[in-house]
Every structure is written in structure tokens, then in C-alpha cells.
Chain A
Amino acid sequence: MRSHMYFKLAATNIKKNAKMYIPYIITSIVTIMMFYIMIFLAYNPGLTGMKGSNSLGAVLTMGIYVIGIFSVVFLFYTNSFLLKRRKKEIGLYNILGMEKRHIAKMMTIENIYSYLINMILGLFFGILFSKLMLLLLIKILRAGTGFVFNISTQGLYITFIYFTVISVLILLNNIRQIHLSKPIELLRGGNVGEKEPKTKWIIAVIGILAMGTGYYMAITVDNALSALNSFFIAVILVIIGTYCLFTSGSIALLKILRKNRKYYYKTNHFTSVSGMIYRMKQNAVGLANICILSTMVLVMLSSTVCLYIGQDNVLNNRFPTNTQINTIFSNKEESESVSNTVKKIIQDSGYKIDAYNEFRFKSYTLEFNKEEKTFSPSSDIDLNIDMMHITYFFPIESYNKQTGSDITLNNNEVLIYSPDNIDVSDEFSIKDITFHVKNTIDNPGFSIQSSGSYMKLIYIFVNNEEIIKSVHDQFDDNYGDYCNLSHVIGFDIMENEEKQTELVSNIRNTLRNSEEYRNLTFQIYSTAEERFDFYALYGGLFFLGLFLGALFIMATVLIIYYKQISEGYEDKQRFYIMQQVGMSKAEVKKSIHSQVLTVFFLPLVTAIIHIVFAFKMITMMLEILNLTNVSLFVTCTIATVIIFAVFYTAVYSLTARTYYRIVE
């Protein structure tokens, strides 16, 4: 065959298979575009100068990997669809006298064509939309400037190499498939899968077990750290369960229904049960894919949206007051002096201050045994996570100073405050020392900055600092040598953020540069400064959520589209036969419609069930990120689910139209 023939054939092939090819090309273009944009953003020179750039960079880089891995899986998947539908055509070429190497050559040229289209348009749109995405990101981050719009040559380069490699792999896979197959199989290719599926009981049972265990883990989890530990395992189990149940469970269930003669031999059930067996065999994997993708989209969007909206909630949890000055390991006199210095700076500034508090403390992570009423250090945190408590020891002086009260304690008396309402009984002991609980209090007048509230907190007020030292001595070497207590000053500066920042940096400079405090270590936070870090992290996550959400939704849409089309071609014949046997057009349409509806909404319904079960777990993990506003998360989740369902339905009805056009 002359070589220009191949080019002509390849071009007509693409044109003739436009219905199948165009979605594939669009997917490729969009994935290439998104990949480029992600690299462009992650390596934007403006990023490095920005506050919170580390978190944002990490989030965006993660995005690159996710998109990268996803593109491979997804492009292979859509390509296999394409190849399957075209097997008949390829078989025909083979029978008409083209050798396999000729077909391979033709295939290669076709793939080169589509590769060129994908790459050129993908990069073009990537460059075009990167500016838009940059503006969106800046808006989300509430970052004013810093980012630079340019064409990232590095991005172009990486994208080009990466997707060229994927294209080559896909091409090799196509050629391999052609070589492996026999022409007669190729001719039948489109119709493979008409055999009655076997019931794979073992897989169905594995599915039930995996799904059940995953769900069980998700609903029985009772603290954040174990949620974090078991989330991954639960997700894997549920994914396995979903695949097993979609592929085998559905068929097993339908076959049980079919065995029930009273149920099966009814006009409505007869066609739908057997029709569903047939459909599930061909679509199970695709539907499981849709289900998993939908779940991912929902979890990602709801949690990132929630984090983004709730970042002020997070900020408030994390920082009880908008400014905080920690002096680590200082003695009483030093603390006093630091406190006076800070007060003086505030006074000089003339800014208004509120919620001023000050205290000295020492904290230990201890295991509290309710039965034995003991606190003890634990070497294995993971195992006893439920019993672990962050235990703060304060001199009673701090409490009196803060609340203006005048409580005196004996050396073996304590006051207890527990924000988590832990019942500490009248007496408890720390090794050899036994304390008597004089009283429990409702409000100590201050709260400690927590980096994560996944462990329960207990505040213990003792008579003086000497007692804290003797407690420390009980722990032997578990917490090293005894050091002084830390000193915390917290207050809200009631001015705008600019002035807050000014005052805080003033305090910071004075303390750090002072000769007097040369030996002290200060940790100075202000929400005005920290906010950017939060925006960078949560805004970045939100942006990534939207970005990946869009990508996954596109994947879902595409799978639905391909499913509808292949369903359509197969239903056409059945539609015709059923009419001849005596079903009216309306009846046939109703029957097929209900089956198609079931098939396409099964994944959505399952995804929503997944979300319901995962809800508790995700709530706890958000707690680690300091988001405690559960009702906000409920709202975000419901809103996301509704929006997604509407979108899903819209996509379904659009593709259903194509479907009915094929069938009729």
C-alpha cells in the first residue's frame, strides 16, 4: 500500500469515529491543559515570595502528582473504550487484506494525529487559561500581589515530555492489542460480553465484608487520631467493596431475584431483572469507577469548601486571642519582667487591648486510668490514644491573678478544669503523690493555644511551682530534666490588621533584641500574620479541590457518555425485538428507561451512602485541622451533594438524548 493512503485512511477514520474520538480528544486536551496550569501555578516565581508559600507550594505540588497519575489511568481507560468500539472495523480491515503491520501503521498515524491535536491545543489552552486560574487563585488566597503571569517554559517542557510518554504507551498498548487478537475476535469485539455472567459468590462475599468493615471502621471511630490512622484503610476497603459489589454482588442479587419465580415472572420484573443482569455485566466496572470518582469529588469539594469557609473558625480555635507571646522555660522573675515590658509597649502604642491574660504552665501527655485514678506517662501513644490526655499544670497563682479570686490550696490539693468534661474523681495519684480535688471550675479565664484538639485536655491547678517540679520527678526520665515553666501572655489588639502587625513586630523586635532577655526563647504569634499561612493552606486546598473536582467531574461525564453510547448500540436490537414480541413502544421505552436510570443513578446513590458513612470520620479529621464547626460541614456537604446531583442529572439527561437518538 502506498504510504499516503495510510494518512488518508487515518484521517477518515478519525472523522468517521468522531462520536467516539471527540470526547477522547477533549479529555486529553483538558488533562494536558490542567497539568500545565498546575505546574505553572506550583512553580510560579511569585509564589516563593508570598507568606505561607510553603503550604501552598506543597498543596499545589500534590495537585501535580494527582493530576499526573489520574491522567494516565483515565487516558488509558477512555482509549480502551475507543479501541473496543472499533474492533469490528479493525477486524474488517484485516479480513479485507490489510496485514496487522499495516493496521498498526495506520493506527500509529491516527494516534500521531490525535497526539498532535491534543498536545497543541492542550498547551495552547493551558497557556490561555493559566492567567485566569492565576487570578482565581489570587482571589481565593486573598493575596494581593506577588504572582507573576508568564509562560512557564518549565511547565511546557514537563507537560510535553510527560504526555508524549503517555501517548507512546497508549500507542504501544493499541498495537499490542491488535497483534494479540485474531480477526474473527476483532470482528466480534463490539459484542463480547453477551454471555450470561457467572455468579462469583466469593467475590460478592469479599465485597460485603470489605464494605461492611470499611463502614464499621468509619462509624465506630471515636477520636481524631485514630480516624486519621484508619481513614486510609477504610477508604481502600470501601473501594474494594464497591468494585466487588458492583461487579459480583449486583449479579448475585439479580440472580437470586430471578430464582424467585413469583417475583421474576411478572411483566415489570421480567424484562428489568434480566436486562439488568446483562447491563451490570458490561457496566459494573465503569459504574464502580463513576461511583468512586463521585465520592472523591464530593468528599474533596465538601471538605475543602468547608475548610475555606470555616477558616476563621479554625483561626479562632487555634489562637484564643489574636496575639500571643510565649516565653519558653523562664523563671518567675523573668516572666514578670517580660510581662512588664510587653505592657509598656502596648501602653506606648496607645492601641486598645482586650481579653488580656497571662499564666505560667507546664504540660505533659499522660495516660489517665479511670479505674485506678492514676496519671502516668505512656510509652506507646498509638495504643492508648483514647486514654491519652494533654495535662497542663498551673500554679494556682495564675488562676487567682486571671480571675481575681483568692483561692488557697494545700500542697496536696488541686483545682481541675476540663474543657472535654472528663470526670476526674475526688482523688487521683501520680505515682507516689496523691492529690485531692478540692473543686472543679468552669472557666479558668484563659485558654491555651492548641495545635490540634484531637486529644482531650485537662487543666490541673496546684499550690505552687515546687509541686509541679515534684510531679515531674515522678516521671523519672520520661520527660528529661526538669525545666522551668513556660509563660504565656495573650490579648486581642482591637485595631485593624495593619496596626496589629505593627504592634506585634514592635513587641517582637524589642524582646528579641533586648540584652536582658538574651537567654530566653520567645514564640510570638498574631492572627494577622498567621492568617496568610491559613489562607495559603486552606485557600490552596480549596483551589485544588475545585480544580481536581472539575477534572473528576469531567471524567465522570465522559464515562457516562461512553456508557450511554455503547448501551445505545446494544439496546437498539433489543428494543426492536421486544416490540415484535408484543410490547408496545411505550412499554419498551419505559422498561429501558427505568433500567438506564437505575444503572446511571446507582453510582450516585452509592456515592451518597459512602459520604453518609464517611461523615463522622471526616468530621474528626477536620478537627485535627482545627475545624470544629460540624454544622458548617453538614451544610457544605449537603450543598455539595445537591449541586453535584443536579449536575449529574443534567449530564445524564443530555447524554440520554444521544442515547435515544441511537436507539430509535
Chain B
Amino acid sequence: MILDVKNLKKVYTTRFGGHQVHALSNVTFSVDEGEFIAIMGESGSGKTTLLNIIAALDKPTSGEVFLDGNSLVGISEKQISAFRRDNLGFVFQDFNLLDNFSIKDNILLPLVLSGSTYEKMISSLNPVLAKLGISDIADKFPYEISGGQKQRAAIARAIITNPKLLLADEPTGALDSKATDSLLKLFRKINDDGQTVLMVTHSIKAAAHASRVLFLRDGSVYHQIYRGNSSNEELYQKISDTLTVLATGGGFNA
């Protein structure tokens, strides 16, 4: 078990006290090594809050998160960045590449931050570039390449440290359908190579590539679907049905 989330609760208090918003009321789930999890839910269901807490960017009001047996909640502010750098990879909807770095340097950024030597960096860089098919654009700058390429570069940056967990927040949100398809295949490929992936998404198509889909509603895990032996299309249908039920607001036994 690589990730274990227990009774997570997050309450936002508005600035002048008074109003409280329960972003997460009680979330419990766990992820095994090598899984590809998709988390779905409507806007405001707490997806992003959950992701931020798992990424140690935010602290829960109560509850625990264990990554590979280590508690994230108790970790000190000083260690948290190094921890994040070594154990987690991030992919975002809007790529979040830095304009002033070339693609190569963007990908190397986490390695440079953790202080490895240039030789080591290059030896981890080349396989990653090859895997993501972006060797030929390594020396370009973010403004010179397409959205799909940017997202590949972002994934390369996320996995170059061999993180225990790859977190993706709406990775296909800013891409056209063709780029989306190839990117999702890429996620599958990375996952097949043994990378554990946790993806937050709105897109049924994206979720249909996962090995398990969690549904969040009103701040807790409402339902989950295992792929089992289903094909992408079958999983797509199941997810779609579940979402319809969620949207109509009925109980799941309806």
C-alpha cells in the first residue's frame, strides 16, 4: 500500500470567522503500488482540496495521510519540500512550465533542486525524453511548442525523480481531443511500467483509462468502480452511468 488516506477532514473558515465550509467531511481510501486511480466529482466536491492535502501543499483539519508508511501530516515545514521533491510528481492542467527555462531545464529542475550532479541528471534525462517522445524539442522553450508537447514535458518533469506517486490535476483539461488521446495512452504506458498514478479529472474519457475510479461527493468518497477486466469502452459506460446517478442526486440504489 503506497498511499493511505484516513478520515480526512478539511474545514475552511471564512476570514472573519462565522461561516464554515466543509470541503472534505470524511475521506478514506488507499492506493496500492502500481494502481492508476482516477478521482471524479463535480465542481466543489473537494477534489482539488484532496489533491492539495495529498501533495502536502495544504494541511487537513483532521485525519491522516500516509505515503509509503510515512505520515504527511506530522512532517515539519522544513522537510516537506524535500519530501515532496523526492516522493511526489505533479502534472497540472495548465502545464506550469517555467517560461525562462528550456524544456530540458524545466525537466531537470527537480533534480537540480535536490542537488545531483550533471552527469547523473543527463543519464536520467535521456530515457525519460525517449519515453515521452520529446527528445527533439528538449532545447526549445515552452512558448515554442504545442500544448500536448508542453504536457509531455510536464510529465517528464514529474517522473524524472522516480516518484512514489504521480499526482495529476486535470492533465487533459487544456488539450484538444487528439492530444488528449495520446496523452492518456502515455499515462497508461507509464502506469504499465509500474508508476502509481493518482489523477483528478472531470473527463470521463480520461477516467476510463484508470484501473479504479473514485467518486467524490459532498466531501466524501461516494462510490468507486474497479476496472476489473472491462475494456476502456465498458468502463466509460459505467462511469457515465454513475455520473448520471450522481447528477440526478438520487441514492446509488435507485
Binding site for B on A (CB under 8 A): 194-196, 261-262, 265-267, 270, 274-275, 277-278, 574, 576-585, 587
Contacts and interface: CB of A to CB of B under 8 A. Distances in A.
A274 B101 contact: yes
A582 B99 contact: no
Nearest to B81: A584
A581 B113 contact: yes
B96 A587 contact: no
B78 A584 contact: yes
B233 to A, nearest CB: 34
Contact of B99 (A194, A579, A580): A194
27 contacts: A194-B99, A194-B100, A195-B141, A196-B100, A261-B118, A265-B112, A265-B117, A266-B115, A267-B114, A270-B109, A274-B98, A274-B105, A275-B100, A278-B99, A278-B100, A576-B96, A578-B98, A579-B57, A580-B92, A580-B96, A581-B96, A581-B110, A582-B84, A582-B113, A584-B80, A584-B81, A587-B113
Contacts of A262: 118
Instruction: Rank and list the top 8 A-B pairs by shortest CB-CB distance, nearest first.
Output: A582-B85, A584-B81, A278-B100, A270-B112, A577-B96, A265-B118, A274-B100, A194-B99
Most chain A CB neighbours (cut-off 10 Å) among B55, B100, B121: B100
Given A262-B118, A265-B118, A267-B115, A581 B100 contact: no
B90 interface: yes
Nearest to A274: B100
A196 B113 contact: no
B53 to A, nearest CB: 14
Interface in B102-130: 102, 105, 108-110, 112-115, 117-118, 121
Nearest to A574: B98
Given A581-B90, A585-B81, 7 more contacts: A266-B112, A274-B105, A275-B100, A574-B100, A580-B55, A581-B109, A583-B113
Contacts of B143: 194-195
Contacts of A267: 112-115
Most chain A CB neighbours (cut-off 10 Å) among B78, B96, B117: B96
A434 to B, nearest CB: 77
Contacts of B92: 580
Interface of B: 55, 57, 77-78, 80-82, 84-85, 90, 92, 96-102, 105, 108-110, 112-115, 117-118, 121, 141, 143, 157
Contacts of B80: 584
A194 B100 CA distance: 7
A266 B78 CA distance: 20
B77 to A, nearest CB: 7
A576 B55 CA distance: 14
Nearest to B77: A584
A583 B81 contact: yes
A216 to B, nearest CB: 36
Contacts of A580: 55, 57, 90, 92, 96
Contacts of A195: 141, 143
A582 B112 CA distance: 11
A577 B78 CA distance: 18
A254 to B, nearest CB: 11
Contacts of A194: 99-100, 143
Contacts of B99: 194, 278
A587 B82 CA distance: 11
A582 B110 contact: yes
A195 B142 CA distance: 9
Contacts of B78: 584
B96 A196 contact: no
Nearest to B167: A580
Contacts of A196: 100, 102, 141
A585 B100 CA distance: 20
Contacts of A582: 81-82, 84-85, 110, 113-114
A265 B110 CA distance: 11
A583 B90 CA distance: 13
A578 B105 CA distance: 13
Nearest to A275: B100
Contacts of A274: 98, 100-101, 105
Nearest to B106: A581
A284 to B, nearest CB: 15
B111 to A, nearest CB: 8
Nearest to A580: B90
A579 to B, nearest CB: 7
Contacts of B102: 196
Nearest to B102: A196
Contacts of A270: 105, 109, 112-113
